[in-house]
Amino acid sequence: MQVTRDTFNQVMVPNYNPAAMVPVRGEGSRVWDQEGIEYIDFAGGIAVNVLGHCHPELVKALAEQGSKLWHLSNVFTNEPALQLAQKLTDATFADKVYFANSGAEANEAALKLARRYALDHFGQEKDQIIAFAKGFHGRTFFTVTVGGQPAYSDGFGPKPGAIVHCEYNNLDALKALVSERTCAIMMEPMQGEGGIIVPDVAFIKGVRALCDEHNALLIFDEVQSGMGRTGKLFDYMNTGVTPDILTSAKSLGGGFPVGAMLTTDKVSASLKPGTHGSTYGGNPLACAIAEKVFDIVNTSEVLEGVLHKEALFREKLHAINEKHHVFSEIRGKGMLLGCALNDKYKGHAKDIMTAATEQGLMCLIAGMDVVRFAPSLIIPDEDIIEGLERFERGIAKFIANAE
Ligand SMILES: *Cc1c(COP(=O)(O)O)cnc(C)c1O
């Protein structure tokens, strides 16, 4: 059957507007489309393909588990889920893990757990969830309402209640909001979708202190920042602040859908049998792949490599900017970087992304003012260098068209 980008408009719900080309194959940090045109991938499936495309070890884990056992449901437990949970708890603050299939589902579990924990320990008055403007936590109705972009949550009828938003990186504003009614504060330790915004460590420490003062749980959404992307296994490890609940997805499965919620013994006790669940969560196929991802990512070789690659990106991006004067700032951490457009080019991130794609470079945006890169953590230096040459050609074309 012959399908093209036009087929999308005929048979797909129009909630997405994908690029003009249709990728068909990937290897490492290179991708080929239906025409055989090659691209270098700085998008990484939106911070998912943490080891690039078709990493041989992941293909092997997929094939091995694929010929052994795919699915059971949670009526039975399984070895890959238990092994992955053991490794995640050994490597983090957490004692317990709940598996889901996506970031939104991991966050949905975190929010329901926080509400139930507050009910168990403090009573039903303690139900308020504080989150941050421009935060992103997924698209289920609860998570999208907690997310700080009303445009995403409006227009679907009555929203889940007792959710308030605060300016990010503004501790005084948070102090004014938090009270004994607050059951949890949910935040990304660095905002991804909101524009690659790294808050002050003092702010994160202040959020932790306010949670402690008011018996509120601190939930870190590390769906985008986690699994090695910032050069540490999780970004909380860069900040010295430990959350009560942490969520992971995206890079966790390296391209296979899986999510996880990590928490302490004490907090986890509120998700008693029957309180929450998922048919697929903790599925052996997903967990076997995620376990292999974990084994490869959680090594000094890969984590230190991330910081080296970040330095290379920054050096080349600054050189591009000296020539073309498009960015006001290069920001972010590790392999999650944002190029914020200066006043002259604000609002044009998508045009730059399209121009880059036309030069053979896949990248992302984070809002209309920021071009975002979230490549594989093991992208070869040659691919970074060549990818940024293509990016620069895209920038030059974009500027020529804009003038
Ligand atoms: C992508 C993302 C989510 C949502 O994950 P899905 O797998 O799309 O449901 C949640 N939180 C953050 C921080 C994200 O970047």
Per-residue pLDDT reduced to its tens digit, 269-279: 999 999 999 99
* Atom number of ligand 1 nearest to Cα 107: 10
Question: How many angstroms does the Cα of residue 254 sit away from the middle of ligand 1?
Answer: 14
Question: How many angstroms does the Cα of residue 105 sit away from the middle of ligand 1?
Answer: 9
Percent of the chain at pLDDT > 70 equals: 100
State whether the beta carbon of 283 lies less than 6 angstroms from ligand 1: no
Residue 362 has pLDDT above 90, yes or no: yes
Burial class, 154, CB count within 10 angstroms (exposed 0-12 / middle 13-18 / buried 19+)? exposed
Residue 171 and residue 145 share a domain: yes
Q: For residue range 141-193, what is the model confidence (pLDDT) as tens digits?
A: 999 999 999 999 999 999 999 999 999 999 999 999 999 999 999 999 999 99
Ramachandran assignment for 243, one of left (phi > 0), alpha (psi -120 to 50 degrees), beta (any other): beta
Residue 309 and residue 180 share a domain: no
Residue 386 and residue 265 share a domain: no
Domain count for the chain, please give it.
2
Residue 71 and residue 220 share a domain: yes
State whether the beta carbon of 221 lies less than 6 angstroms from ligand 1: yes
Between the alpha carbon of residue 317 and those of residues 82, 137, 229, 351, the distances in Å are: 42, 29, 19, 18
* Atom number of ligand 1 nearest to Cα 221: 13
State whether the beta carbon of 136 lies less than 6 angstroms from ligand 1: yes
Q: How far apart are CA 165 and CA 17, in angstroms?
A: 29
State whether the beta carbon of 194 lies less than 6 angstroms from ligand 1: no
List the CATH number of the domain containing 370: 3.90.1150.10
End-of-domain residue from the set 261, 282, 297: 297
Residue 344 and residue 277 share a domain: no
Mutate to test the pocket of ligand 1, among 15, 134, 137 (most ligand atoms within 8 A of CB): 137
Closest CA to 47 of 189, 210, 249: 249
Instruction: Examine the residue annotation and report whether 234 is marked as an active-site residue of this protein.
Output: no
Q: For residue range 302-332, what is the model confidence (pLDDT) as tens digits?
A: 999 999 999 999 999 999 999 999 999 999 9
Asked if residue 235 lies in contact with residue 189, where contact means CB atoms within 8 angstroms, the answer is yes
Asked if residue 130 lies in contact with residue 291, where contact means CB atoms within 8 angstroms, the answer is no
| Cα angle for residues 262, 110, 85 (degrees, 5° grid) | 20
Which residue out of 250, 292, 309, 316 is catalytically annotated?
250
Q: Three-state SS across the chain?
A: CCCCHHHHHHHCCCCCCCCCCCEEEEEECEEEECCCCEEEECCHHHHCCECEECCHHHHHHHHHHHCCCCCCCCCCCCHHHHHHHHHHHHHCCCCEEEEECCHHHHHHHHHHHHHHHHHHHHCCCCCEEEEECCCCCCCCHHHHHHCCCHHHHCCCCCCCCCEEEECCCCHHHHHHHCCCCEEEEEECCCECCCCCECCCHHHHHHHHHHHHHCCCEEEEECCCCCCCCCCCCCCHHHHCCCCCEEEECHHHHCCCCCEEEEECHHHHCCCCCCCCCCCCCCCHHHHHHHHHHHHHHCCHHHHHHHHHHHHHHHHHHHHHHHHHCCEEEEEEECCEEEEEECHHHCCCHHHHHHHHHHCCEECEECCCCEEEECCCCCCCHHHHHHHHHHHHHHHHHHHHHHC
State whether the beta carbon of 192 lies less than 6 angstroms from ligand 1: yes
State whether the beta carbon of 188 lies less than 6 angstroms from ligand 1: yes
Residue 83 and residue 37 share a domain: no
Instruction: Examine the residue annotation and report whether 112 is marked as an active-site residue of this protein.
Output: no
State whether the beta carbon of 193 lies less than 6 angstroms from ligand 1: yes
Q: From atom 6 of ligand 1, which residue's Cα is the shortest distance away?
A: 103
Which residue out of 136, 220, 391, 398 is catalytically annotated?
136
Asked if residue 116 lies in contact with residue 126, where contact means CB atoms within 8 angstroms, the answer is no
Asked if residue 242 lies in contact with residue 207, where contact means CB atoms within 8 angstroms, the answer is no
Residue 378 and residue 270 share a domain: no
Question: How many angstroms does the Cα of residue 222 sit away from the middle of ligand 1?
Answer: 9
What is the pLDDT at residue 403? 79
State whether the beta carbon of 102 lies less than 6 angstroms from ligand 1: yes
End-of-domain residue from the set 265, 297, 329: 297
End-of-domain residue from the set 271, 297, 323: 297
Binning pLDDT at 50, 70 and 90, where does residue 30 land? very high
State whether the beta carbon of 127 lies less than 6 angstroms from ligand 1: no
Residue 247 and residue 170 share a domain: yes
* Atom number of ligand 1 nearest to Cα 138: 4
Residue 176 and residue 111 share a domain: yes
What is the pLDDT at residue 248? 98
List the CATH number of the domain containing 161: 3.40.640.10
Residue 392 and residue 317 share a domain: yes
Residue 178 and residue 140 share a domain: yes
Asked if residue 287 lies in contact with residue 83, where contact means CB atoms within 8 angstroms, the answer is yes
Residue 290 and residue 142 share a domain: yes
Between the alpha carbon of residue 316 and those of residues 50, 63, 81, 324, the distances in Å are: 22, 38, 41, 12
Question: How many angstroms does the Cα of residue 147 sit away from the middle of ligand 1?
Answer: 10
Residue with tokens 């292999």: 292
Question: How many angstroms does the Cα of residue 152 sit away from the middle of ligand 1?
Answer: 13
Q: How far apart are CA 228 and CA 231, in angstroms?
A: 5
* Atom number of ligand 1 nearest to Cα 135: 13
Asked if residue 373 lies in contact with residue 352, where contact means CB atoms within 8 angstroms, the answer is no
Question: How many angstroms does the Cα of residue 104 sit away from the middle of ligand 1?
Answer: 6
Mutate to test the pocket of ligand 1, among 223, 229, 248, 364 (most ligand atoms within 8 A of CB): 223
State whether the beta carbon of 235 lies less than 6 angstroms from ligand 1: no
Q: Which amino acid is at 148?
A: G
Please give the mean pLDDT across all residues of the chain.
98
Instruction: Examine the residue annotation and report whether 221 is marked as an active-site residue of this protein.
Output: yes
Query: What does the CA dihedral 116, 83, 300, 335 come to, rounded to 10 degrees?
Result: -50
Q: For residue range 33-57, what is the model confidence (pLDDT) as tens digits?
A: 999 999 999 999 999 999 999 999 9
Percent of the chain at pLDDT > 90 equals: 100
Question: How many angstroms does the Cα of residue 156 sit away from the middle of ligand 1?
Answer: 20
Binning pLDDT at 50, 70 and 90, where does residue 402 land? confident
Task: Output 403 or 30, whichever has higher pLDDT.
Answer: 30
- The phi and psi torsions of 116 (rounded to 5 degrees) equal -70, -35
Residue with tokens 């490890």: 237
Q: Which residue range is the domain that position 394 belongs to?
A: 5-54+300-402
